[in-house]
Structure 1
Amino acid sequence: MGAVASESAGNGGDGPTDQVLVQRAQSGDYRAFDQLVTRHRGKVYAMIVNMIHNDADAWDLAQDAFVKAWKALPKFEHRAQFSTWLFRISHNVVYDWMRKKKVMSEGELDDQMLDSSRIDSAAPTAPKIPARPDEQLVQNERRAEIEKALSQLSDEHRETILLREVQGMEYTEIADIMECSKGTVMSRLFYARKKLQTLLKP
């Protein structure tokens, strides 16, 4: 009952829960799986495009992730939410692609080299929306700065902060997706935030 309530909250109460749709899809109902794709493709694409910064490849990888999810669906045992399981598949698809393309991050900052005296604990890690329309240019420039800063994080740190800050996932969900401990997630998130604060500091 708890799992159903949790997943219902995740889809905003619009239509059947993920759990119900997964059960239907596991019984061969492709339309149910298509509903799952429609419900989650935006978030999957957003995570992937923020990781690789290429729209066309991101759509291809998202499609690949859903194909793999469909093939693996009979083995899904509902121990985790469907969305968490799907993000884990997407995570693996992205890292396999990066290894093949040899585009793993280079020149990432060393956690041990951070100068804590330069880090303002109150520094923002995201821009504030300008109050006036004529400040759109400033907003766009700030967004570009954030994207550049994110690109300087390691793949693990970047993915961790995107899953937490953009997707709003819990530490345990992120740990499940990235196949690491909750403590590792918290550590990566801490250093990712500090790096961004340092890189975005005026």
Structure 2
Amino acid sequence: MQELTNNALMLKVKSGDLDKLGLLYERHKKRLFGFFYNMNSNASLSEDLVQNVFVRMLKYKHTFTGEGSFSAWMFRTARNVNYDYYRKNKIAFNKSEISTVEYKLEDGDSIEKGMNKKDEISVLNRAMQLLPPEKREVLVLSKLKEMKFSEIGVILGCSEGAAKVKAHRALKDLRTIFLQLETR
């Protein structure tokens, strides 16, 4: 049996075959969790928000046309879920607690190199948390989720070119914050 595309599965959900939403959930729960975790650094909250995305996808299944990318539609829904959560709970986006970053040394690097790498990752994580949420979001989508700028444009409600500009500016700001933190 040929594996159905995400668009085809969502169109089946739209037409009433609700079991297909479970397949979509299994395919995308890790990507969505990563998106939310990179935005809020809270695993428990991220799991809840992933569930909320699929509840909302079910509720608004009639809005899916199947013409664009399913991933863009899903991440736009995820973005709205994230925004609504923070608005409802009156929590500032950029006041997330800074989590520790786990990493693996790639080869037999010396302990000193490993410690430097850990320090850089820690500083980078802090710099990401200090970015405004809009800039953090575009970096998470483009660099961590490796989405195409055309999809990011759909998610953010702007053109592909505007999405590239936003990502470039966010990287520039991240670099500035990173260098400021590193010199401390």
Superposition TM-score tier, normalisation by shorter sequence: 0.7 to 0.9
When residues 16 and 106 of structure 1 are mapped into structure 2, their CA distance, relative to the original with a 3 A threshold, is closer
Per the alignment, residue 18 of structure 1 pairs with 6
Give me the TM-score of the superposition, normalised by structure 2. Answer: 0.81
Give me the TM-score of the superposition, normalised by structure 1. Answer: 0.74
Pick aligned residue for 1:98 from 67, 82, 86: 86
Pick aligned residue for 2:59 from 71, 86, 111: 71
Alpha-carbon distance between aligned partners in 1 of 2:70 and 2:94, rounded to the nearest angstrom: 33
Per the alignment, residue 108 of structure 2 pairs with 132
SS at match of 1:56: helix
Match status 1:156 vs 2:134:
yes
Alpha-carbon distance between aligned partners in 2 of 1:129 and 1:179, rounded to the nearest angstrom: 39
- Superposition map of 1:1-202 within 5 A: 15-105=3-93, 130-132=106-108, 134=111, 136-201=114-179, 202=182
Alpha-carbon distance between aligned partners in 2 of 1:194 and 1:143, rounded to the nearest angstrom: 17
Unaligned runs of 5+ in 2: 96-102
Instruction: Report if aligned partners of 2:8, 2:66 keep a CA contact under 8 Å in 1.
Output: no
Aligned-residue offset at 1:189: 1.0
Aligned-residue offset at 1:186: 2.1
Alpha-carbon distance between aligned partners in 2 of 1:62 and 1:17, rounded to the nearest angstrom: 20
**Which amino acid in structure 1 is aligned with residue 140 of structure 2?**
L
Unaligned runs of 5+ in 1: 1-13, 108-126
Identity, in percent, stands at 28
Aligned-residue offset at 1:132: 2.3
Calculate the aligned-residue CA RMSD, in Å: 2.5
Instruction: Report if aligned partners of 2:94, 2:129 keep a CA contact under 8 Å in 1.
Output: no
Alpha-carbon distance between aligned partners in 2 of 1:53 and 1:140, rounded to the nearest angstrom: 17
